[in-house]
């Protein structure tokens, strides 16, 4: 394949709500450029981008898929992204390396919730964006309504470059107000005939042309002066003005298409070539050190890994963008994150599931390589001595947590390997082995995301698993002081065991005074790894217990704090004073005082009005105005405390504190409640007392298997 210089490489991401037609548009673009001989379709399960078995099964994109095409001596790298917010990691990775976003709007549905979500990411990345109103051949298509909704949602600088002559089954012509011509398509689409704008459409074409010119001039001081002087801008001025404004994320041109009928894709590709920026024209990349890295083919070689794919019988495929220099097959690069050296034995272009070897890739281009030893997503590789580390992709926090386990015993190690593979492929997947809950916890973006993970584990990795509700990490504390004495005595021939402990337990709080009537001789303040504090006081007088046994008593207390007296949960915010006891000159030892300390603490804790605490999460829900009532009603059933509500564009942001125990499967409930139009995020806020009846129920359940009973 020919090598393209950096100025002739364009990188675009196809964006949009599920069903907007991204994959179909990609097929038309590849077909028009002659890269494929026949256009596939989602229903026929033979498209280039949705090639994964899971995608053909679901008939929708799940993974970002990389392709490329060539149009008038320009190479266009295309990344087809999934539309569901559950797969936002795929979208964010694509936007990190794309230089233009094509936001596809469904002309029959207008601006959908997925479009609003994706817009937030394009706005965050300041990605140059153009809109494509697709499916204009459908009977209920409404171009004017879709255009107005786009302006309402994304601002007045969404400006029409085209409009359809008519919509529905008779859609076959588009008026272009940038070059003031009409494109007339045959029944099979493809290359249109250029025709003069009909007289009955000239007034509208002139009006939209003027609006386009004024929008371009308003965003460029030099063009504004020229417009005032001449009353017009020529086509080259308009293209240059659009080009600069798109780079600044100021103007968002809007085009027309029917991807299914292959109408409009060629004009869009021509605009990408002529107007949309290449990587070399985009602002320089910031490094973690605060320096700037310009996209220069003669600069130091530097690539950034934005995605990995694990393929059966092949291994790990690393997708990267060349941000500087020229990369050649067989070159050695240093991983700035690990310090290791990697050899790029093969350079590949991806065309869905096809792999095309190339000898080199220049700055601005996107490609892939195989079998890097220790390189992962967000790693920067560069030539020796360059010391460049690019800013990493910031992936969203998980919204769904489940407990995962193997069906068959003995497969735990295999599960661990599978989970590591899943995390390497998808940075929005996380897992942890929780010693507190005695569960493996899997964190992901939503119920759809979880279904995909389950499918991969079952169908690719051939492992049978169970998915359960995770346990709640409760905490135990006390509300009043209590005392207890425990004597541990055991005689079994020869040396025995003896230790007696007198103990006072109290709720700890900042600034608590020393216990009255006790003389504090030693103090340990322990910041607990699970939150809160244990304060351990030595108040022994007269040598009733030798100081060498005090660590053993503390060890017993800590052991019980790991496995709380009332529910087995971690204990926090307690002060323990050991003030008396007895020992035996022969039978006393560490184990005796450890047991005595544990049992005395357990007994005193239960008499100190124990309180069970539950984790409370700060939840932010973004939903359309007409869904607020339904969302608020559902929150009330979850014992939520709503703290506020404020407008954010066309959405309302509801802020509430909700017990974690009430958030299980909230993702699917919210999706069902709002038809997928709302989204949420959550993060830990604090611990708070549980309801009395809940505490009673949990204590009764735990008491049936309390192993410390004597």
Tell me the average pLDDT across 468-497: 92
Interatomic CA distance for residues 251 and 209, integer angstroms: 15
Q: Are 627 and 588 in contact (CB under 8 A)?
A: no
Residue 454 confidence (pLDDT): 96
Residue 710 confidence (pLDDT): 47
Check whether 338 has a pLDDT greater than 70.
yes
Sequential DSSP letters for 165-213: S--GGG--EEEETTTTEEEE--TT-SSPEEEPPPHHHHHHHHHHHHHHH
Tell me the average pLDDT across 428-450: 94
Residue 238 confidence (pLDDT): 94
pLDDT band at 493 (very low <50, low <70, confident <90, very high): low
Domains (range + CATH), the chain: 6-279 (3.40.50.300), 287-382 (2.40.30.10), 400-468 (3.30.70.870), 476-608 (3.30.230.10), 612-694 (3.30.70.240)
DSSP lists the bridge partners of residue 637 as none
71, 95, 119, 173 from 428: Cα distances, Å: 35, 15, 19, 43
Where would I find the H helices in 397-513? 412-425, 447-455
Residue 666 confidence (pLDDT): 92
Provide Rg for the chain, Cα atoms.
32
pLDDT band at 644 (very low <50, low <70, confident <90, very high): very high
> Residue 507: which of 351, 398, 613 has the closest Cα?
613
Residue 708 confidence (pLDDT): 58
**Residue bearing the bigger pLDDT, 657 or 313:** 657
HEC per residue, 661-677: HHCCCHHHHHHHHHCCC
Q: Estimate to the nearest angstrom the gap between the alpha carbon of 166 and the chain centroid.
A: 40
3-state secondary structure of 260: coil
Of how many residues is the chain composed? 710
Check whether 366 has a pLDDT greater than 50.
yes
Question: If you average pLDDT over every residue of the chain, what do you get?
Answer: 93
Burial 231-246 (b: 16+ CB within 10 A, else e): eebeeebbbbbbbbbb
Check whether 46 has a pLDDT greater than 60.
yes
Interatomic CA distance for residues 289 and 295, integer angstroms: 17
392-414 pLDDT, tens digit per residue, is 999 998 989 999 999 999 999 99
Where would I find the H helices in 350-428? 412-425
Q: Are 416 and 465 in contact (CB under 8 A)?
A: no
Of 375-379, 439-443, 540-544, 600-604, minimum mean pLDDT range: 540-544
Tell me the average pLDDT across 619-636: 92
180, 211, 511, 567, 568 from 708: Cα distances, Å: 85, 79, 33, 12, 10
- The region that residue 65 occupies, defined by phi over 0 for left and psi between -120 and 50 for alpha, beta otherwise, is beta
Q: What angle do CA 358, 363, 367 make, to 5 degrees?
A: 40
Of 201-205, 513-517, 534-538, 644-648, minimum mean pLDDT range: 644-648
Element (H or E) spanning 601, and its range? helix 590-606
Whether pTM > 0.75 for this model: the answer is: yes
Q: Are 252 and 157 in contact (CB under 8 A)?
A: yes
674-704 pLDDT, tens digit per residue, is 888 888 989 999 999 999 999 999 999 998 7
Residue 152 confidence (pLDDT): 92
588-619 pLDDT, tens digit per residue, is 999 999 999 999 999 999 999 999 999 999 99
pLDDT band at 706 (very low <50, low <70, confident <90, very high): low
**Residue bearing the bigger pLDDT, 4 or 437:** 437
Q: What is the dihedral of CA 248, 161, 137, 47, to 10 degrees?
A: -40
The two tokens of residue 582 are 């007895």
Placement of tokens 């033979």 in the chain: 46
Check whether 86 has a pLDDT greater than 80.
yes
pLDDT band at 177 (very low <50, low <70, confident <90, very high): very high
With 0-12 CB in 10 A as exposed, 13-18 as middle and 19+ as buried, what is 323?
buried
DSSP lists the bridge partners of residue 642 as 656
């Amino acid at each position: 394949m020919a090598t393209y210089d950096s100025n002739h490489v364009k990188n675009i991401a196809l964006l949009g709500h599920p069903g907007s037609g991204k994959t179909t548009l990609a097929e038309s673009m590849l077909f028009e450029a002659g890269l494929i001989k026949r256009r596939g379709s989602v229903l026929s399960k033979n498209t280039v981008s949705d090639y994964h078995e899971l995608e053909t099964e679901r008939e929708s994109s799940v993974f970002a898929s990389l392709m490329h095409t060539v149009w008038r001596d320009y190479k266009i790298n295309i990344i087809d992204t999934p539309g569901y917010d559950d797969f936002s990691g795929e979208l964010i990775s694509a936007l990190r390396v794309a230089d233009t976003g094509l936001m596809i709007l469904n002309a029959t549905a207008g601006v959908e919730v997925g479009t609003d979500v994706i817009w937030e990411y394009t706005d965050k990345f300041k990605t140059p964006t153009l809109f494509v109103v697709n499916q204009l051949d459908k009977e209920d298509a409404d171009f004017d309504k879709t255009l107005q909704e786009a302006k309402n949602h994304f601002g007045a600088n969404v400006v029409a470059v085209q409009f359809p002559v008519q919509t529905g089954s008779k859609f076959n012509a588009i008026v272009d107000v940038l070059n003031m011509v009409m494109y007339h398509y045959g029944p099979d689409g493809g290359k249109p005939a250029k025709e003069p704008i009909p007289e009955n459409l000239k007034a509208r074409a002139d009006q939209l042309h003027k609006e386009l010119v004024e929008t371009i001039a308003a965003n460029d001081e030099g063009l504004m002066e020229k417009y005032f002087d001449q009353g017009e801008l020529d086509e080259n001025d308009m293209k240059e003005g659009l080009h600069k404004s798109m780079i600044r994320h100021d103007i968002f041109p809007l085009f027309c298409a029917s991807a299914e009928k292959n109408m409009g894709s060629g004009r869009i590709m021509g605009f990408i070539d002529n107007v949309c920026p290449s990587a070399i024209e985009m602002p320089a990349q910031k490094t973690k050190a605060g320096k700037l890295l310009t996209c220069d083919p003669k600069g130091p070689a530097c690539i950034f890994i934005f995605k990995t794919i694990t393929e059966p019988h092949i291994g790990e495929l690393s997708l990267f963008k060349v941000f500087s220099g020229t990369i050649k097959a067989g070159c050695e690069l240093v991983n700035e994150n690990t310090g290791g050296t990697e050899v790029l034995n093969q350079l590949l272009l991806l065309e869905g599931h096809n792999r095309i070897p190339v000898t080199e890739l220049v700055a601005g281009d996107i490609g892939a390589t195989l079998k890097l030893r220790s390189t992962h997503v967000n790693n920067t590789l560069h030539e020796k001595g360059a010391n460049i580390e690019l800013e990493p992709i910031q992936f969203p926090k998980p919204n769904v947590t489940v407990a995962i386990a193997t069906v068959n015993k003995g497969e735990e190690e295999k599960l661990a390997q599978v989970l590591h593979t899943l995390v390497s492929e998808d940075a929005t997947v996380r897992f942890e082995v929780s010693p507190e809950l005695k569960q493996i916890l899997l964190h992901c973006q939503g119920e759809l995301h979880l279904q995909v993970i389950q499918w991969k584990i079952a169908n690719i990795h051939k492992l049978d698993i169970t998915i359960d509700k995770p346990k709640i990490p409760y905490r135990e504390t006390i509300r009043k002081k209590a005392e207890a004495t425990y004597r541990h005595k055991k005689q079994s021939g020869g040396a025995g065991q003896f230790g007696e402990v007198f103990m006072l337990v109290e709720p700890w709080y900042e600034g608590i005074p020393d216990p009255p009537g006790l003389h504090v001789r030693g103090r340990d303040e322990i910041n607990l790894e699970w939150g809160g504090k244990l304060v351990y006081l030595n108040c022994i007088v007269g040598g009733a217990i030798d100081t060498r046994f005090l660590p053993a008593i503390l060890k017993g207390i800590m052991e019980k704090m790991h496995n709380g007296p009332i529910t087995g949960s971690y204990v926090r915010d307690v002060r323990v004073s050991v003030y008396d006891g007895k020992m035996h000159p022969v039978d006393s030892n560490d184990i005796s005082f450890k047991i005595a300390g544990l049992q005395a603490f357990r007994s005193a804790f239960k008499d100190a009005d124990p309180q069970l605490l539950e984790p409370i999460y700060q939840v932010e829900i973004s939903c359309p105005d007409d869904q607020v009532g339904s969302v608020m009603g559902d929150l009330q059933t979850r014992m939520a405390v709503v703290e506020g509500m404020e407008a954010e564009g066309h959405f309302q942001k509801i802020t509430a504190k909700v017990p974690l125990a009430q958030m299980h499967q909230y993702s699917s409930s919210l999706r069902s409640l709002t038809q997928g139009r709302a989204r949420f995020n959550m993060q830990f806020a604090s611990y708070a007392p549980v309801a009395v009846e809940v505490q009673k129920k949990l204590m009764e359940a735990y008491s049936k298997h309390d192993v410390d009973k004597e």
